[in-house]
Chain A
Amino acid sequence: MKIDRKEVLHIAELSRLTFTEEELDAMGEQMGSVLEKFRRLDEVDVSDVPPTAHILPFVNVLREDKAAEPMPREELLKNAPESDGSAYIVPKVLE
């Protein structure tokens, strides 16, 4: 099973990734072979079984609303690829 080109391109767009022509072919093959293995689940009967997203019994974990020192802005911006010292800089988003 190979995933067709159109589908791979759609998923690549959702993933914000681009691929060369050759990579698209290989990705279609590889995804196909992995997804085929996933069909193994078809053999398991899960009618009446609820899904589990998380194995913990916690529902809401509450804590006191205490004020604390926030991390200094300069510290956080040190890792930014581009900043003006007070904000992250990106190319223009709105015309």
Chain B
Amino acid sequence: MDIVKLSLTDVRDKIAAKKLSSVEVTKAIFDRIKETADLNTLITVTEQSALEKAAEVDGKIARGEKIGALAGVPIIVKDNISTSGIRTTCASRFLSNYVPPFDATVIKKLKAADAVIVGKANMDEFAMGSSNENSAFGPVRNAVDPTRVPGGSSGGSASSVAAFQAFGALGSDTGGSIRQPASFCGVVGLKPTYSAVSRFGLVAFASSLDQIGPITRCVRDNAELLNVIAGHDEMDSTSAFVKEDYTDYKTGVKGKTIGIAKEFFDREFSAEVKNAVLAAAKLYEKAGAVLKEISISSFDAALATYYIIACAEASSNLARFDGVKYGLRADADDYIDIYYKSRTAYFGAEVKRRIMIGNYVLSSGYYDAYYLKASKVRTKIKAEFDAALKECDFILGPTSPTTAFKLGGDFTDPSEAYTADIFTVPVNIAGNPAISIPCGADKSGLPIGLQLIGRSFGERELFGAAETLEKELG
């Protein structure tokens, strides 16, 4: 038995049943992390604290004490989620020495569930990017094909799960940053409903869009991990008063209506991706679902809307990096120069570009034409999603227009790179949950991801439908 290849659910059950010890599992994971270190998935590896936690969990089990829902299970966390006493860099030089004095709520919950945190995942700097090449700690390689990108921004989280370096990982998704890398690496990634998971301790990128979510190798594992991290938190006033048992879902789509948005498929994108996604839709039909053509007429405006809102919010959120309270400070004699020199020296190129665009669309004279206009289009997009999801239970489409592209691809025009997010950003604008699940491979063997979008707080229905496809595809 190859321990690292077990599912999260299996390993958890085996540890609880004393068939495996958490120390044994955790050691196997660290061996695997060392063997696959070339993937550069992790910025910080926490071997010592992980082994201590594993031994503590084994002790609890030996003494017959009550254990948590993820007892002894190694998990990886994206490096924009604050971990007390463990460096949290956001893959930025600016925070390369930053050690949070507190845990994010999701970390508190993982710890309370007795999970073993084995490392902090590489990512695009401050979660800005779709290839994981915008990291001050070097690019991540795709576990499926190391010459290719893992997607981004949660590229380290997705590639680590695909490489069996953990049984699950946490990512964050502002415009597709969980789903697109999950799709590129052939794993399952969920962006929960906005507000379903507390964001306290998540370093903010775009606050009206950011959401933490799980990345795993199967749907069941995803539900188990979500169940631990979700729920209201008084430290996050934008977190919803909703707590469900997300593990309690029913597989099957009989009688469900699945919307196929014509605007998604009318676009030009990889024929292999298109065919695989449409073939999966046929499988759903065979499994008893009804396919229905729907329309999200503002879809074409979603990408612009997203980038205006996300950059605007980022320019405001990242104003806190001033070289005074935390992070690096550049040498300067004047206090204003501390801001200029620190920000200029320690932010990467993409982060600077987005701050500039954000300040532009918010600046006097342009606010109405860009930010205010985007906020109105947002209302429209949300209304169209709400209307479509009254007619149908889910909306089906591709997660990404392509499979994983080659590392080192040169986008001289950054607006070209932004189109990688075309199918994922509308969901963050509307706030709905969406899951990316593998639905095949292209001729080079690269995974293709299918995206299912659900109703707000419809995560259980999404898991049920996603697992149906997982079973159909074997």
Residues of A bordering B, CB below 8 Å: 3, 7-8, 10-12, 14-19, 27, 30-31, 33-41, 43-44, 46, 49-56, 58, 61, 63, 71, 75-76, 78-82, 88, 90-93
A10 / chain B contacts, CB cutoff of 8 Å: 363
* B415 lies within 8 A of chain A by Cβ: yes
B359 / chain A contacts, CB cutoff of 8 Å: 11, 14-15
Chain B, interface size category, equals: 35 or more
Counting from the closest, the 8 A-B pairs by CB-CB distance are: A51-B375, A81-B329, A55-B431, A79-B326, A46-B376, A75-B101, A61-B237, A16-B339
Please give the distance in Å from B204's CB to the nearest CB on chain A.
14
Is the CB–CB distance between B101 and A78 below 8 Å? yes
A38 / chain B contacts, CB cutoff of 8 Å: 304, 307-308, 361, 370, 374
12 A-B pairs in the complex with CB atoms less than 8 angstroms apart: A7-B360, A27-B356, A31-B357, A44-B377, A46-B380, A49-B376, A51-B372, A56-B194, A58-B238, A79-B101, A81-B326, A92-B335
* B269 lies within 8 A of chain A by Cβ: no
Please give the distance in Å from A93's CB to the nearest CB on chain B.
5
Number of A-B contacts (CB under 8 A): 160
| Chain B contacts with A in 332-361, Cβ cutoff 8 A | 332-336, 338-341, 343-344, 347, 352-353, 355-357, 359-361
B300 / chain A contacts, CB cutoff of 8 Å: 40
B329 / chain A contacts, CB cutoff of 8 Å: 81-82
Determine the main DSSP class of A at the interface with B: loop
Q: How far is the CA of A8 from the CA of B414 in the complex (A)?
A: 17
| Chain B contacts with A in 268-303, Cβ cutoff 8 A | 298, 300-301, 303
Determine the main DSSP class of B at the interface with A: helix
**Nearest neighbor of B344 in chain A, beta-carbon distance:** A18
Q: How far is the CA of A33 from the CA of B307 in the complex (A)?
A: 13
**Nearest neighbor of B432 in chain A, beta-carbon distance:** A55
B307 / chain A contacts, CB cutoff of 8 Å: 34, 37-38
Please give the distance in Å from A83's CB to the nearest CB on chain B.
9
Q: How far is the CA of A19 from the CA of B340 in the complex (A)?
A: 10
A61 / chain B contacts, CB cutoff of 8 Å: 237-238
Is the CB–CB distance between B340 and A56 below 8 Å? no
With contact pairs A37-B415, A78-B101 given, residues A52 and B379 touching in the complex (Cβ less than 8 Å): yes
Q: A38-B370, A88-B324 are in contact. List 9 more A-B contacts (CB 8 A).
A: A15-B352, A16-B319, A17-B352, A33-B413, A34-B414, A38-B304, A38-B361, A90-B324, A92-B335
Is the CB–CB distance between B323 and A91 below 8 Å? no
B319 / chain A contacts, CB cutoff of 8 Å: 16
**Nearest neighbor of A7 in chain B, beta-carbon distance:** B360
Please give the distance in Å from A44's CB to the nearest CB on chain B.
5
Q: How far is the CA of A31 from the CA of B301 in the complex (A)?
A: 18
Q: How far is the CA of A6 from the CA of B226 in the complex (A)?
A: 49
Chain B 403-442 interface mask (CB, 8 Å, partner A; 1/0): 0000000000111001000000000001100000000000
